[in-house]
Amino acid sequence: MVDLVGQYEKIKPSVDEAIMGVMGSAAFIKGPEVKSFQEELQAYLRVKHVIPCANGTDALQIALMALGLEPGDEVITSNFTFAATVEVIGLLRLTPVLIDVERDTFNMDVEALKKAITPNTKAIIPVHIFGQCSNMEAIMQIAKENNIAVIEDTAQSIGSKYTFADGTVKSAGCIGDIGTTSFFPSKNLGCFGDGGALFTNDSELAARLEAIVNHGMKARYYHDEIGVNSRLDSIQAAVLRIKLRHLDSYVAARQAAAKYYTDAFADVDGLETPLISEKSTHVFHQYTLKTKGVDRNALQTFLSEKKIPAMVYYPVALHNQKAYKRDGVIDADFPVTMDLCDCVISLPMHTELDNEQLEYITNSVKEFFNK
């Protein structure tokens, strides 16, 4: 699905030098690389504060902690996402409220959001899934009217840009109260281990986040609240600084591969290619097709026999996961999610796909449909 070795080979001298630099300085934790990365990412995203942390799941948890929610408060998120988003809600003894998604973008459905709001709703977590922003104009409007906080899960969409009706353009994760991301190796901006970050334009929230990631400490050894220990280490920051310089070209490579796929599948009846919304750029963390009238699993097996990895993100809706089942929450509440779980399939998507590989993959997919 990804070619991280191929990507590394191209930037090897600078990455190796940066890692050696950290080893020579022994500033493994809270070193200058972390500070520089923080500042460079702030500039890239045009956001006031970036708070690095240990991974994308921690980032979500820390964001929820900073909002000071009480057990039982409801947090609305998408039913069609990686489990981390809903996991942290449950971990903090908050109540996850899952909602259906839009068929075209796979993102949170705004009508479903409106219906899900109750007096207990304290936060909304739109997940910008597969590389494209949720309908943030509408979500921010609803949040404002109801005085609800917004945490954007940007683990799959760093670098995506959203355009508001008045022409304002903002980066994914920098629109709501807090944005979170992951630097897991296969993410669009990935490090060589685990990493994550929080974004905010609110200086008070930033101070709270800074404290929570560091044991709830504002002044050294004075703990104002219960926090966690969640750090991005200097070696990861050094790698990320270099990869950040390439992020725009990485995105362009993903978009070019996506265009190749979409052009190639234009006349395949059994496939629906991903929509690129008018309001958001698509950074193609995943290239996700919807199959129509064919056995999706047979297609996956056929490709696998041809040594083409194709993955199903996500095969089971969260409300049907053992850990997240709740009484009274049923399949009929999520018609789109249920359908997507049966028909989606994602093709290899990364920065190193060349035309030969793309041709082989697209020809193989077409061969399945011409059988």
Ligand X SMILES: *Cc1c(COP(=O)(O)O)cnc(C)c1O
For CA atoms 98, 101, 107, 110, give the dihedral sign. negative
**First CA to last CA across the chain, in angstroms?**
25
**Tokens at 308, concatenated:** 């083409």
**Span 42-61, contacts to ligand X by CB under 6 A:** 55-57
Rule CB under 6 A: say whether 134 interacts with ligand X. no
Smallest separation (angstroms) from ligand X to the CB of 130: 9
d(CA 63, CA 68): 9
d(CA 178, CA 65): 12
Segment interacting with ligand X (CB under 6 A) among 130-138, 149-157, 209-217, 218-226: 149-157
Rule CB under 6 A: say whether 155 interacts with ligand X. yes
Smallest separation (angstroms) from ligand X to the CB of 55: 4
Smallest separation (angstroms) from ligand X to the CB of 81: 5
Specify the length of the chain in residues. 371
Smallest separation (angstroms) from ligand X to the CB of 181: 8
Question: Could you tell me how many residues of this chain bind ligand X (CB under 6 A)?
Answer: 15
Between 156 and 171, name the residue whose CB sits nearer to ligand X: 156
Rule CB under 6 A: say whether 132 interacts with ligand X. no
Q: Interhelix angle for 84-91 vs 56-66, to 10°?
A: 40
- Geometric angle at alpha carbon 321, from 108 and 80, rounded to 5°: 15
Segment interacting with ligand X (CB under 6 A) among 67-75, 106-114, 148-156, 205-213: 148-156
User: How buried is 61 (Cβ within 10 angstroms: 0-12 exposed, 13-18 middle, 19+ buried)?
Assistant: buried
Rule CB under 6 A: say whether 280 interacts with ligand X. no
Smallest separation (angstroms) from ligand X to the CB of 222: 29
Between 61 and 200, name the residue whose CB sits nearer to ligand X: 61
Smallest separation (angstroms) from ligand X to the CB of 154: 8
Between 192 and 369, name the residue whose CB sits nearer to ligand X: 192
Neighbours of 242 (CB within 10 A): 15
**Tokens at 277, concatenated:** 């919304």
**Span 166-205, contacts to ligand X by CB under 6 A:** 182, 184, 194, 196
Figure out which of the listed residues 74, 153, 233, 333 binds ligand X, where binding follows CB under 6 A: 153
Alpha-helical regions (H) of 188-233: 203-213
d(CA 155, CA 183): 8
CB-CB contact of 160 with 150 (8 Å): no
Q: What's the maximum distance between 2 C-alpha atoms anywhere in the chain?
A: 69
Smallest separation (angstroms) from ligand X to the CB of 101: 13
d(CA 89, CA 73): 10
Smallest separation (angstroms) from ligand X to the CB of 196: 5
Give the residue nearest to ligand X (CB). Answer: 56
Rule CB under 6 A: say whether 98 interacts with ligand X. no
Figure out which of the listed residues 7, 85, 286, 351 binds ligand X, where binding follows CB under 6 A: 85
Rule CB under 6 A: say whether 233 interacts with ligand X. no
Neighbours of 2 (CB within 10 A): 17
Smallest separation (angstroms) from ligand X to the CB of 371: 33
> Which residues are CB-neighbours of 40 under 8 A, at least 6 positions away?
241, 244
Rule CB under 6 A: say whether 340 interacts with ligand X. no
Binding site for ligand X (CB under 6 A): 55-57, 81-82, 84-85, 127, 153, 155-156, 182, 184, 194, 196
